[in-house]
A and B are shown apart, each in its own frame.
Chain A
Amino acid sequence: MTLLPLMKAVELFHGLTDAQLQRLLDISQEVVYHDGDVIFEQGAAGDALYFISEGQVEICIRCTPGTAERTEVFLGRGQIFGEMALVDRGTRSATVRCCQDDTILRVIQGDAFTALCEADTAIGYVIMRNIACDLSFKLRHRNLNLDASSQGAAALEEGGL
């Protein structure tokens, strides 16, 4: 089965030709996770980028050691994660855990990705632009969530609770 239609439904790859998508597909690997599996831990080294073919993961952050972990967002089909480490080479900023059985991810290793982008700078340009768009959408989601949170708090105050 061809994976190109799947790739076309991922915003990260928006604007790439079929040939460019195929080159990316060639350097990606499929991995299957189950509910509760940890994909990577906050603070760990790693420069692979993941996109979700099927299923769902949760992004969790522990602000200070010893405190409870907090889920920041759930990501479903077509979403990417791990891109921050790919861009800034830092450690993982969050723990990512699978929360649905048979979640299918595709992984692109940083070295292979960089080599491909250097060989075809058009791919690099398009993907970096799309990563920026995706980060912007995630920020918008966070802002909407914060807004819902303040509205919820206001409603509680009005209710005298």
Chain B
Amino acid sequence: MITYKVSYVVIGGEHPGAIANEIERPCVGARVRIGRGTFEIVEIHEVLPPREDFVFLHATVRPVETAEHAAE
């Protein structure tokens, strides 16, 4: 089974981003929870050559204004 090790970097660099393993390849438009925020993937590419069952990805994400946050 392939494991996707993803470095999530938030546009602007103000947020520290995250590293996480995913069981499905992340795609542009998908949403991801980082800390207490929700982010949308805007770009994704391989950052390193795969190592057998491990694929190394870099995803650029932007914050999503959720209905919950908008109400605050």
Contacts and interface: CB of A to CB of B under 8 A. Distances in A.
Interface stretch (A16-24, A84-92, A108-116, A146-154): A146-154
B19 A137 contact: yes
B58 A149 contact: no
Contacts of A120: none
B16 to A, nearest CB: 5
Chain B facing A: main interface SS = strand
A10 interface: yes
Given A147-B13, A150-B13, A78 B5 contact: yes
Contacts, number: 103
B9 A141 contact: yes
Interface stretch (A25-33, A42-50, A68-76): A68-76
A121 interface: no
Interface of B: 1, 3, 5, 7, 9-14, 16-23, 33-36, 47-48, 51-54, 56, 58, 60
Interface of A: 5, 8-11, 14, 56, 58, 70-79, 99-100, 133, 137-138, 140-141, 144-153, 155
